[in-house]
Amino acid sequence: MRFLPVNPRALLVELDDLEQTLALLASLQRAPIAGIDEIVPAARTLLLHLQPGEPDVAALAHALAQRDISGPVEQDGPRIEIPVRYDGEDLAEVAALLGITPTELIARHTGQDYTVAFCGFAPGFAYLSGGHPSLNVPRRATPR
């Protein structure tokens, strides 16, 4: 865990991976630390917006470092089903990379739950976690 001051009222907490980030976020939601106004999660960081004059950044960093972020995070939010249309130009290519048919790819993809880990660079763009590793494919060699 690394602590990077952003300004007098913000601290960026850098973690090793998304799982640690979500675990620390869940810990702070369950047991808030006085003086933290807002928490903005990202893939490997939490941006903490602080109340004026508190908390002491060194004490805050010490308190954060004491949090247990080793275990999985339990999800207790509502389940939201999002309709998806599978007809993109990459469907056949991804299925071929995985050695399965497009129909099987769709079945595997829709047959599991995902968690919105955080929202990204564009309004409404959610980064999902929880997908089965068997569906992982490499990034394109050349982005479109």
Instruction: Give the percent of the chain with pLDDT over 70.
Output: 100
Domains in the chain, please, with CATH?
Answer: 2-65 (3.30.1360.40), 80-144 (2.40.100.10)
Q: Please spell the DSSP secondary structure of 27-81, one letter per residue.
A: HHHHSPPTTEEEEEE-SSEEEEEE-TT-S-HHHHHHHHHTS---SPPPP-S----
Q: Please compute the mean of the pLDDT values over residues 21-36 and round it to a whole number.
A: 95
Q: Please compute the mean of the pLDDT values over residues 100-116 and round it to a whole number.
A: 93
Query: Would you say residue 102 has pLDDT above 90?
Result: yes
How does residue 35 score in pLDDT terms, banded at 50, 70 and 90? very high
pTM score, two decimals? Answer: 0.75
